[in-house]
Amino acid sequence: MTNPSPQIILKVNQNLDTFLKMEGTEYSSKFLLQVAEDASTYKQKLFAKEVFSQNLKLQSMQSENNILKATIEEDKNLKIELKNNQEYIKDLLDKKKRCNKEGYTEAQINELQQSIVTKDTQFEEEKKELIAKYESLMRISSAEFEEERNLLATHTREISRILGEKNEKLDKILQEKMQEWKADVLKETNKVLQKEKEMTNLREGMDAEIKTGISQKKLDAHMENLKGKKRQDDLVESLRKEVVRLEAKPDLTNDLAKLHTHCEDLEMIIKRKNMEIFHLKKNNKLLVEDLTNEKDRNLITNIKLDKEKEKYRTLDQNLRIAETEHRKNGAMMNQSMNENKVLKRKVLDLHCQLRGCEQLLIKERTKNKNMANCIMRYKEDIQAVADITDPKKLIIAVARLKEQHVDGDDRVSMEENKRTLRHMFDGFMCNLKRSAKVHAADAKQMERIKEQLNCSNQRKMDSCVKRTNIINESTREISELKEKLKIKEKLLERATDTTPKRVDSWLDEKYLRKTKTMFQKKHCF
């Protein structure tokens, strides 16, 4: 439906004024006031419709801003929890480094690893819960937003339909009144033209009769007719005076022009406010796009964090494998150390036995020397006996030799003692060689285990350095994202806080004040 232009309204008012001048007192000024009131109410209804639509738009924008604020707060909470978890992971990594540097016991390392595993599981569970909560909130908010949007759409459709019907009815009424007014104006103009024609015909007839020389009676009759016409002229003059008096009354065209200018001002204000709302919607769209980009960036950072967590898990698995190898190597080292201790004890026992055997050897050597001396003496005595030829002297010498060398000698033969001692010495030397070989193999194995431990410690240190660098990069990215979010929140606060205040102040100052003045003017009329 198109609104009637102010020019059409002014033309209607002018036609009404002319019609009132011609008809006199048949139509009063009350009808004009009623028409002006109808036009003003029509404009007020249109303005109220636009204000209502703008309020609905503002409410929808406020709901969207509230949803955006809720999503921003959820993102903030998620980022704070991520930061806390990252700090806790840093503390655990520092504790691991300290453990590697200070060389804590295996029980403490196991406790720390168990705490790390439990915290990782807690972090994963909390992350899953937060993600589920965030998704449920997003679903609920989107569903509520769509419901409100549908309700607003239905309300706007109904309001537009009702207003369209009312506008159609008003247009029909105005067209009917315009047609009636036009018909009345045409009738009155035709009547006036007919009266003027009759007057001109009468005057022409009178002039013709005077010229041709009519009788006195006709002249008297004409004079009476002229007196009647004079009376008619007097009535016309009185009617004109009445029209002048009515024209002297306050004209409503100025008020209608003022109302028209006021409506134009209101339309300009509404257009300006519509432009502001359009710009605000545009800014909100940009902010929503920025938020979606931030969400995408957060998703990318979360993906990076997940990758880093996977790397961290792989590194933890490698650490666990290395620790299990370290434990195995430690157990092997302990076994080798125990074996070395046993072998050292055996070596010490063998050394003690060697020392005892050396003393026995010294004793046996002294015995051998004594036996050699005895044998030498025995040989010398035998040689001395061999030179004796007298049998009696020979028997005496042999008996003396027997007393010296054979009687009372309970010692074991030297060959058996030498054989046993040689056998024992060979056994001791074999044991010594075997223990020396085992000790050399254990020393090589210890060196190999030390090299493996050094390599594993170096790998652990390198992985810890890489993880710290990655965590620092992620923290820097998170800080940059926080700064951007702060800037966007400030923009959102500006966009959300100013528009309702401006609209409320504008409505209070302009619309309500001017409606009061219009109401007072109407009552004055």
Average confidence (pLDDT) over 512-524: 50
Q: Which residue from 29, 117, 38, 134 is spatially nearest to 81, judged by alpha carbons?
A: 134
pTM score of the predicted model: 0.24
Phi/psi of residue 513, nearest 5 degrees = -65, -45
In the block, tokens 């961290």 appear at 312
Whole-angstrom distance, CA of residue 389 vs CA of residue 280: 155
Q: Give the model's confidence band at 25: pLDDT under 50 very low, under 70 low, under 90 confident, else very high.
A: very low
Residue 436 in contact with residue 443, Cβ under 8 Å?
no
Higher-scoring residue by pLDDT: 409, 355 = 355
Q: Residue type at 453?
A: L
Question: What is the share, in percent, of the chain residues with pLDDT greater than 90?
Answer: 0
Whole-angstrom distance, CA of residue 81 vs CA of residue 478: 12
Q: Give the model's confidence band at 85: pLDDT under 50 very low, under 70 low, under 90 confident, else very high.
A: low
**How many CA atoms within 13 Å lie on the side-chain side of 364?**
17
Q: Give the model's confidence band at 4: pLDDT under 50 very low, under 70 low, under 90 confident, else very high.
A: very low
Average pLDDT along the chain: 66
Whole-angstrom distance, CA of residue 21 vs CA of residue 242: 9
Express each pLDDT in 118-171 by its tens digit.
Answer: 766 766 676 677 666 656 666 665 666 567 667 666 766 776 676 667 667 766
Q: Residue type at 304?
A: K
Please tell me the total number of residues recorded for the chain in this structure.
525
- Determine which of 12-26, 133-147, 190-204, 361-375 has the lowest per-residue pLDDT on average: 12-26
Say what the pLDDT of residue 238 is.
Answer: 64
With 70 as the cut, is the pLDDT of residue 319 above it? yes
